Structure 1
């Protein structure tokens, strides 16, 4: 089943909600929570580019429409009901320079996509209807979702029936 996960210019897809990050801490800016009876599978390998990883395309902007600082860190997080805190499940990107210098359509180009791939710590991330997954950001500025865009590569996503 085809699935889109995104938050763009104040709009979100199903299962997605947005939050404003706490500055200078790795905190959620996007949450994914499937509805009852449905799970979301995010694969670490897609057939675009040369490297393995999960492409996440985006423009991370503040309330003035400026890009978040280049030294902003981005990672994926996961939290099950039994977890005491959010677990980081990808290698954090230490910079968003590739997000700043390339448009979203340029990021999707086969020659540039590897720069926006996030390496999961496993082969996939399974999000059950009782779990939450996140895009986490550590920045000195707060994200403004009405001016930002975040898209998961659709070929890495699928909905699964949990019942």
Structure 2
């Protein structure tokens, strides 16, 4: 297994800065580029990450670590950001995400998790039994996957404008 809590925390700590570096005070057009109908822009992704901070990672970890006999997670609404982000600017979302993530990681670090804690089990409504280690690993991968998604969307925006260099840029060849 490759999972290491400290390594994951280092990634999770940096995600807000990645978004902030790319989008803070950048033309709003960049934040709203997507890949077509029912796809997500950076604005949508950030709203989704905020919703995850509020209802997914730490709340589910608390269920796993808690004393309750029912370890079943609440279902996660993958599209809740469509309503929750309404009326907010990208800068609003960037600040909210940074604040929520800092709070989440402070909570996670305060638990001083042992290997036994990481092996504790919760119940995902679709996937069945999952360990805390799997949840925290997924949180890390989820961040990285959305950073990748955000970058891909931005790359595709200029895909037809690079001319013959398209042959040298692998991500453009895969389109």
Q: What TM-score comes out, normalization by structure 2 length?
A: 0.27
Q: What TM-score comes out, normalization by structure 1 length?
A: 0.28
Of Structure 1 and Structure 2, the greater strand share is in 1
Answer with 1 or 2: which has the greater Rg.
2
